[in-house]
Structure 1
Amino acid sequence: MLEGVNVALGVSGSIAAVKVVELAHELRRQGASVRGVMTESARGIVHPWAVEFATDNDVVTEITGRVEHVELCGRDGWADVLLIAPATANTVGKIAGAVDDTPVTTCATTALGADVPVVIAPAMHEPMYDHPGVLDAIDRVASWDVDFVDPRIEEGKAKIATEAAIVTATARATAEQSLAGRHVVVTSGATAEAIDPVRILTNRASGKTGRAVARACHVRGADVTLVHPDGDVHYADAVTVESAAEMRDAVLDSVDADTDAVVSAAAISDYTVDRADEKLRSGEERTLELRPTPKLLDDVREAHPDLPIVGFKAETSGDDAEMTEAARGILDRVGLAFVVANDASVMGDDETRTLFVDGDDAVEFSGTKTELGGAIADRIATVVSESDPDSASASDSDADSDSAPAPE
């Protein structure tokens, strides 16, 4: 997610600084190179040696004749993004006022002047976060296109956001915004059909791929609606559902005239049953009458004939030719943009192997599900751009202007 990205990690004097070692590790796990910058107050909470160990780089603890702030965050500096995590009320206020009396605030002023992206993850006690001056400072800094990662309000504290949320915000700040202004609806996870108040029919899908697609679309600038059974996420507007019928209704409600694409990654139940009002007694032979569920893709296509839709097809044969044939069947029947076909044996795993089936092509992909999410998001950006006449007109206009003679 952050392959090749250089992150200058500013650490200020919140107790949340104790989390910076793991945050630095997670940034590096996602492919980033990290260099730490610390205030004096932060050094009283976590030792610079710990940050040096976590980043595998020297830590800036003061501005010297090397002009470290310019070296890191100047126009030709090392950093692709300045991430300040945690950011205290004091630090945010100083950034808002262009006060440069710590290495972190000096890097912030330099980055903002050099148009280097800045991401800030505040952490403080809740009354401080609610102070009108702090809120004004946050609004002022945010108006300069600085991305704030909202804290978690718990136990009277505005606790620093999760590592996953901070990493996602950092990735979004540095990624090409190929889906900016787009609305993408993604389904994910396994639906479940109630047999009685305690038993369900479901499947082995984990939802990892759908969540990875939603996150990757968000990183590329999209507004994402995620319809799934797992609750809130930090990268999308989540709609929680359980059954196939609930998922179908939620998707149809979420898709409107401004929706640019639907990705149906969920493993939706093919069958449902009539739910018993009370728990069925155990120890008895019982026959369940299974009824087919409505096909979500068909219903979305009927309601939105021109909408780009991405489908998924899981098979158990392990044969690429059979997977491709099954994928082409749904591709042609529903008129999909492309289909992601895979063997069902990867359900629940972090690694996957798929085939992108599009027309006569079947392109193999192997890697993590996070990487697969990125590959799908990139394909969606291409499909949406090609299907949008306004984008095509804009491209034609750009081409015309490029070929036109320059004014004298």
Structure 2
Amino acid sequence: MLSGVNVALGVTGSIAAVNVVEIVHELRRRGANVRAVMSDSARGIVHPWSVEFATDEEVITEITGGVEHVALCGREGWADVLLIAPATANTVGKIAGAIDDTPVTTCATTALGADLPVVIAPAMHEPMYDHPGVLDAIECVEEWGVSFVSPRIEEGKAKIATTDAIALASAQAAGPSPLSGERIVVSAGATAESIDPVRVLTNRSSGKTGRAVARACYVAGAEVTLIHALVGPHPVEAGEECDPATYAEVESVESSAELSEAALSAAAKADAYVSVAAISDYTIEPEDEKIRSGEDLSLDLLPSPKVVDAVREANPELPIVGFKTETSGDDEAMVEAAREIADRVGMSFVVANDASVMGEEETRTLFVGDDVAEHRGTKAEIGEAVASELAGVLVRENCREE
């Protein structure tokens, strides 16, 4: 996601600076190269040696005759993106006013003048974040194209965003953005059909692939709606380190009927629909009370409506990407099943895989369109491949319209 991206990391004097080593590790884990710039106030909270150890690079703590700000963030500078995390209210106000009295604010002015992408992750007490002048400063620099990673409002504090949210925002800002301006709807997870108030019929889908596709579309510049069903069968909890709300507008559903309703509503305003969710093929008329155990029981299963068929009927021209899971382990059978659903619905392409990868991190898929292409890797890497292929589909669609 950040492979080969050069991130200049500005650290200012918020107590959240204690998280800087963790932020650096997350950026580097995702492939980024990191060089840090620290204000004097930040050095009073975290020693530059700690940051130097984390980045494996010398930390800039003052601007000298070496014009470090230009070498780092100028038009021909090293950085691909300037990330300021954490950013204090004082720093945000100075950036808005082009005040350069710390190495971090000097780098910010240089970056903005050089059209270098800038990402800011503010952290401060909540009353400071709500100050009209701070809000005006944020609005001002956002109009200049600066990306803000919203803080978490907890315990009267505007706490710095999660490391995942910061890394995602940095990746999105660093580009490229082939899905910029596109509205993408992604479904994920396992639907569950109620048998009674306690029991459900569901499947083993973890939702990992669907979330990976949504994340990749966000990083590629899209506005993402994630319709999320259950996860094996537990729901995704808000506030997790990888909370989907950091990269998508999330709508939680449970049954196939709820997912169908949400998908039809979201697809009506979308530029593409990616159906990754493992949707129940059967539903049931639920009992009003818990079914007593200890006796033989037969359930009458009813076919569930096909969500992609309903979306296609309501949106004849909408690009749709499907996922098809088989248990045979045979490539020819997977391709045949993928082509059947692609032809029936009119899909742009179908991602076929074997059910054995459900819940696993590594996966192997076949992208079935006019040709068949194999993709192996983590589900994050498969998500990136889907986003890239989808971007190509939308380019071709836009060219035809013109």
Both proteins in one fold, TM over 0.5: yes
**1:134-160 deviation per Cα after TM superposition (whole angstroms, max 9, x unaligned):** 111111111110001111111100000
Letter paired with 1:146: V
Letter paired with 2:385: A
Q: Which runs of 4+ in 1 moved over 4 A?
A: none
Rounded Cα–Cα distance in structure 1 between residues aligned with 2:50 and 2:202: 46
The Cα of 1:183 is off from its aligned counterpart by 1.0
1:265 aligns with 2:265: no
- The residue aligned with 2:72 is 72
**1:247-266 deviation per Cα after TM superposition (whole angstroms, max 9, x unaligned):** 0010001122x421100000
1:372 aligns with 2:394: no
**Where do 1:128-143 residues align within 5 Å?**
128-143=128-143
Letter paired with 2:366: L
Aligned residues: 390
Letter paired with 2:389: R
- The residue aligned with 2:330 is 319
1:309 aligns with 2:329: no
1:233 aligns with 2:220: no
Letter paired with 1:57: E
Output the aligned Cα RMSD. Answer: 1.2
- The residue aligned with 1:334 is 345
**Where do 1:7-406 residues align within 5 Å?**
7-229=7-229, 230=236, 233-256=245-268, 258-359=269-370, 361-389=371-399, 393=402
**1:181-209 deviation per Cα after TM superposition (whole angstroms, max 9, x unaligned):** 11111100111111111111111111111
The Cα of 1:389 is off from its aligned counterpart by 4.5
Greater CA drift, 282-291 or 141-150: 282-291
* TM-score normalised to structure 1 length: 0.94
**1:296-327 deviation per Cα after TM superposition (whole angstroms, max 9, x unaligned):** 11111111112110010011111111111111
The Cα of 1:212 is off from its aligned counterpart by 1.1
- Secondary structure of 2:318's partner? coil
Letter paired with 2:264: L
Greater CA drift, 274-283 or 98-107: 274-283
The Cα of 1:292 is off from its aligned counterpart by 1.0
Identity %: 69
Rounded Cα–Cα distance in structure 1 between residues aligned with 2:249 and 2:22: 27
**1:43-87 deviation per Cα after TM superposition (whole angstroms, max 9, x unaligned):** 111111111111111111111221111110011000000000000
Rounded Cα–Cα distance in structure 2 between residues aligned with 1:286 and 1:23: 54
The Cα of 1:363 is off from its aligned counterpart by 0.6
Letter paired with 1:243: S
Letter paired with 1:316: T
- Secondary structure of 1:388's partner? helix
Unaligned runs of 5+ in 1: 394-408
**1:86-109 deviation per Cα after TM superposition (whole angstroms, max 9, x unaligned):** 000011111111111111111001
The Cα of 1:388 is off from its aligned counterpart by 2.1
Rounded Cα–Cα distance in structure 2 between residues aligned with 1:323 and 1:203: 19
Letter paired with 1:107: C
Rounded Cα–Cα distance in structure 2 between residues aligned with 1:347 and 1:228: 16
Rounded Cα–Cα distance in structure 1 between residues aligned with 2:323 and 2:133: 50
Rounded Cα–Cα distance in structure 2 between residues aligned with 1:21 and 1:52: 9
Letter paired with 1:250: A
**1:229-269 deviation per Cα after TM superposition (whole angstroms, max 9, x unaligned):** 3365211111110011100010001122x421100000011
**1:275-308 deviation per Cα after TM superposition (whole angstroms, max 9, x unaligned):** 1111111222211111110001111111111211
Unaligned runs of 5+ in 2: 230-235, 239-243
- The residue aligned with 1:398 is none
Rounded Cα–Cα distance in structure 2 between residues aligned with 1:26 and 1:372: 20
